[in-house]
Amino acid sequence: MEEHRLIKNIVFRLVRRHIAGFTMNSALNAVRYLNGDGMNTTLTFLSEHVSDPIKARYNANTYVQVIKQISRLHLNSSVSLRLSQIGYALGNGSADRLLDDILDAARSGSSTVWLEGGLGVTHDELMAVYNDRRAANPNLGVEIPISYYSRMDGIIRSIRPRSMVRMTSHPYMAESAASNRSNTQKGMLNRYMSAISLLLKKSQKVCIHEPDEKLMARIASSSNGHKKDLIFGVPFGYSKRRVKRLMKMKVNLDVYVPYGKDWSAYAIYGLASGRLHGIATTLLDGERGGAHGS
């Protein structure tokens, strides 16, 4: 237990600038600040390892309240929801009702909701949920890890016309453990550029969410002909120098703002790479072991 606490403290020191505090108010204040600097945001609540319906309902209610607060405070922010947070991995069907509650609140507030898979949810399950609800929820988007596909035409086949798509290089779902992380880095710029040209012909909104700052700068520099049609999503805590550079390029910038105490899974799948990924994975394995032992 002492070793696990030490690892968790090390990882948190490395990633804490990417997390907008533990409370909803701290996250909303961060969104207000970013809006004041002319940046759009996407707010997400960090909570994983849902193993009971009560926690799933709590997470869903949190998203409903976040959406209502964004509308009440007139903030410029969408929200991003992982299906694993509301119990899709449990397979008991209650997650469908919880998702409907969240989407009802989003329609009332004219808010955009992005769907992610999350741990224990496959990409096929995510796409099935998204395609089933897209027509009734025009402000509903989906996150696609382009590293999941060996060919770009696989992405195109999975997306229906006029969809909203957010691409990322980090697979954050059930297939993550089986994915080849070294291959996701090789030729990633070419993958992004190929996907951009194909998706812009079919999708109503295309967002690129890339935590690798150097790669994002290269994508923006290579997208001069498309940058007005793209949204460039960067994690909260991106270097100010990189953000200023992107803003000078006059791109549509969106900051991904996570908050909450359950941050370890996000640190592993959303931010960590290289040696840090190994340390962070050890952290999550320790948390799983503790959960099983309780």
Q: What is the mean pLDDT of the chain?
A: 82
- The structure tokens listed for 210 are 């890339």
Class of the domain covering 20-262: alpha beta
pLDDT at 45 over 90: yes
In the chain, what are the domain boundaries?
Answer: 20-262
| pLDDT tens column, 157-193 | 778 888 899 988 776 655 554 444 444 455 788 888 8
Phi-psi region of 118 (alpha: psi -120 to 50; beta: other; left: phi over 0): left
The DSSP output letter for 148 is G
Beta-bridged to residue 116, according to DSSP, are: 82
pLDDT tens digit string along 231-261? Answer: 999 989 888 888 888 888 888 999 999 999 8
Q: Once rounded to an integer, what is the mean pLDDT over residues 120-135?
A: 90
Asked whether the predicted pLDDT for residue 285 surpasses 70, the reply is no
Which stretches of 40-192 are assigned E, i.e. beta strand? 40-45, 77-82, 113-116, 140-145, 164-168
- Please indicate whether residue 151 or residue 56 has the higher confidence score (pLDDT): 56
Taking only the tens place, the pLDDT of each residue in 68-99 is: 999 999 999 999 999 999 998 787 788 999 99
